[in-house]
Structure 1
Amino acid sequence: MAKKLTIKGLFKPKARTPIELVKHMRELLIFVDQNNDVREQKRKEKMEELTKAILEIRTVVYGDDDSEPNKDSCAQLTQEFFRENTFRLLIVCLSKLNLGDRKNATHVIANLQRQKVQSRSIALEYLENNIDIMDILIKGYEDSGDIALSYGAISRECIRHQNIARYVLESDHMKKFFYYIQTPNFDIASDAAATFKELMTRHKSTVAEFLSENYEWFFQEYNSQLLESPNYITKRQAIKLLGDMLLDRSNSDVMVRYVCSLDNMIILMNLLRDPKKTIKLETFQVFKLFVANQNKPPEIVNVLVTNRTKLLRFFNDFTIEKDDEQFEANKAQVINEISVLELKPCNPKMSSLFSFRTNCEVRC
């Protein structure tokens, strides 16, 4: 018996090279994509082969319990993966894979986005020449199934590349994100919010350029769709992200423009009245910028002065559960700034302004 096993072992299939692995997976993906009417047994066999191929490729790029990934093998695999559109084919077939295979395929794609071959980003070069793939991925948020989450994870890996992020920022997809973030499906809405945040924070100079050129429509949508959303999570994430954007040094010009708007300050003052303490705290981090602005427009000064008593009462009572010296210092500065403000002549066309915590009219 032992002799038979030894002989059998001699005919054990030779392990595929990284290039052969990708070619094999590509052949299987083509089969899956083009043969919808094949008999069930044949399709099942091919899908099992595809599962194994994806796992083998994952092992090459991530290694396993016994060995670290080999740099040369990763380079060969990366070049082959992007050489003949295997990336696009995998994206197209992703919805036909089971959840486990989709997760492994997504992990592979994430790794390949970061691979360098002789200091070149093969993935970036490929995406720049096949930029329409980003249209497929972002539009995935319009699907109600799990594929939206897979496409979202891949999108975030792709926009690690600045040029790819710029393409998305400059596309019509940006306006649609305000709706994706509010989709009734919580998982999809959360994933869309994560991608949106990545777009608005990763590449500082590109984001600053985008916000400067698209200020009007972007913040109009941001304020009305997100900051004034009835959904607690949407509102909380939006006010936190707004603070991150405005406090980033790269966005200093945008921040100055934002905090010189009375309409924007009114939205923030309304958010300070929110019953949720977390909303109030995140709002305070932005509201303090309006107060700290040394070039406040007269209409902003006058609203703060007119509502001074109520604002000071609010901030004196506004506390957080844990000791935070920075919070207390910021709050003290806001109180001091508001305390010393004086009314200024303002535009006579502005006959009524906002009154904090009341529906009264404030007249210039």
Structure 2
Amino acid sequence: MPPIPTRPASDPTRVCFVAAPLMARSGVYRSTHDLVVEARSRGLDWRAVLGTRPTAQGRRIETPGVREVTITRHGRAVVDEVREVLDDVPEVARADVVVTLVTQSDVAWSRSTARRGRLWVAWVRGLPWPAPGEQSTARRVALRFVESAALRRADDVWATTEVLGADVARVRRPHLVPAGIRLPARTSFGERSVPMVWAARLDVDKRPRAFVDIAERSGVPGRLHGQGPLEAGLRAELPPIVSMPGWTDASELWDGAGFFVGTASREAFGRSAVEAAATGLPIVLGDRYGAAPLLVTDAELRRRFVLPTGETGRWITAVRDLAGDADLRRRMSDHVAGNASRSSVTASVDAVHDRLVELGVGGSAR
């Protein structure tokens, strides 16, 4: 571990979170803003640098202590661009601890001369290498090699969930530090039966076509939210039973919803699922959702509503059961709303702070 600059005991350790590039102002983007707001409200000196693509969808957030920059390069050149940004911005220059949140930032910071004298934590928020079928074999192997090398250089590695931690442990055993979100108020008690709602980036690993198929085969109306590379194809073949409003602000996403369905084949955390659960919406999730073990702890409910992605028949049964049974929806609503309360940004700040104290930094009071 590199030496940490000596600080007065009354002066909070300076922490900078880094995430670049980000394709959308959604999960990591919003969670980082939430984290900085909560920490600074306690007097902690936490900041962030977020690099977004010029085409990034979602509302730009202005938060004291958070700098947003634009990242334009692609391929191997993006790592150099991110490194150049990190070598230049004052938030990194003044930091005692740098916490990287996405793969390209891990690799860029591992190659930066500015890393000397600062504690570096790689906080893995999503599987940092492509899954089989998402890239060519050669590219997957190359990306895994580069990211694995970066993770081995970090002073500490964190993972947000046990599901993600098990994947990362093949390279380096991580410490579990859960992600958190600013939880919305509970507005549902399972009273609405439909529509079922899906919300994510419209990409292969999120499996939006599986949601459309489930709606069509079950007869349960669905609402598909999001943008991404599959959008045009989905709109061209969308059946009448599914509506597709596109990108919707988080404050309006769950209005009029019956329950949430998450079909992703891999989801490191699942912010949308946690937000939906916090509002009281019942949920049906794939078993590769990182948040699934946190949200659905009852064995019977887990068997019925946390499902393998390939078993479409069980998904059809699950959505029909929820749509047709008000008592079941109320039971599921109460269950997941209670569990979601443990995934707050407050709890996440506590976990980050506690781990930094264990590492010998961040000793100011919570």
**TM-score w.r.t. length of structure 1:** 0.23
- Rg: which structure is higher? 1
TM-score (norm 2): 0.22
User: Of the two structures, which has the highest relative contact order with CA contacts closer than 8 Å and spacing of 6 or more?
Assistant: 2
Higher relative strand content = 2
